[in-house]
Structure 1
Amino acid sequence: MSRSERQRWRSARTVADLGELMALWLEGELGSWPGYMPGCGPDDETTHLVPTLAALCRAGYVTTQSQPGCIGTSTDGLWWEQRAALELVVTDPKLFHRLIDTADAAGLSVRINDYRPGGGVQDQPVVVTTCDSEPVTSFGGRISRAHMAIQWPGLHPDLYREVSTGMYVSIIAPEYGKPGEQMWVVLDFLTGHRRHDPADPWASSTPSGPAYS
């Protein structure tokens, strides 16, 4: 990470600031973010998710990892099955409840890991990727203090304190493969990235920014 980019991340003071920087990284305007491999952008498989993820970040939900839903044989000849899945951190209780209500109404799986002072819900992880029917990747589950520090290095101490004591939420499609990709449409409606069209409920409109202030 360049010195100027380190300074930009260090200068962030609010979750809104952090969300904007994460959105810029997703969109390729920044070369690195502190919790990821230096000089690397999002994985190619998530390219089509960038508008959805950036909109979430700008709406107060800072995304930390994601993957699309897909099924198929890889170049190594093994059979992979993957659910659409997302992990994010949110510190605003109103935004948190809007997210949970939206996910529940859509039939999506939700896992919550609450790091607010005094303790909270600590859900168990969910397998989201299998290879030849063997579990490979899970989303959710408690994040250790050590891993939290690795995920958010270089932030201003006040902002680190806020995100490390936030509510981490994993949203997971119930099914493997392409059907689970409708999860991203649901999240687009949440942020206002898509607007409901009575003639075509799944139609996308021009992004209009966060739906909530």
Structure 2
Amino acid sequence: MSKSPYINRDVDNEKSANVVWHQASVSHEERMGLNGHKPAVLWFTGLSGSGKSTMANAVDRLLHQLACHTYVLDGDNVRHGLNGDLSFSDRDRVENIRRIGEVSKLFVDAGMLVLTAFISPFRADRELVRSLNQATQFIEVFIDTPLDVCEQRDPKGLYKKARNGEIKQFTGIDSAYEVPVSPELRVETAGKSIESCAQLVVDYLLEQGIISRQN
């Protein structure tokens, strides 16, 4: 496993020592009871063009139909605001995922199902996010789409730019993507419909007792 390039940005130790966690008056268990299902992070990872965002939104729609409380955190959308100060260097990619991991943890604390669609190329950083949650509350969903298929899709024209040298440090071309070793779910999208792939994810949540058809 390669070492994450993350560097701790919190150097103000004196300030950090005076920050304490404030206990909410409404408990995590009470929030879960109100929502009617268990909370979890569904972490969609894969190459650009693999179908992460499309899949996350398709699953979100199915969960909404089951009256589940959900939210999708999309890689592009988050960079418009929360992570708008970050570049696509390896260091900032890691900080991007760290921040999303912390935000996702808050959604889980609120008793919700949060779906994240990020390339998240480094294995160590995905494991960091996993460690923030209970074992059953982090579900890594590897959207396993071959590079050549992603390049054929190339919905944003990014692969073409990367091949032409217009984009540097592009994942899968000149920046590494570390394939998940043992994800909870591996979804192969090539030659399959979005609907059938999304249903695989929902079926997994049903099998694990995270949601029910009575939600």
Q: Same fold (TM over 0.5)?
A: no
TM-score with structure 1 setting the length = 0.28
TM-score with structure 2 setting the length = 0.28
- Which of structures 1 and 2 has the bigger CA Rg? 2
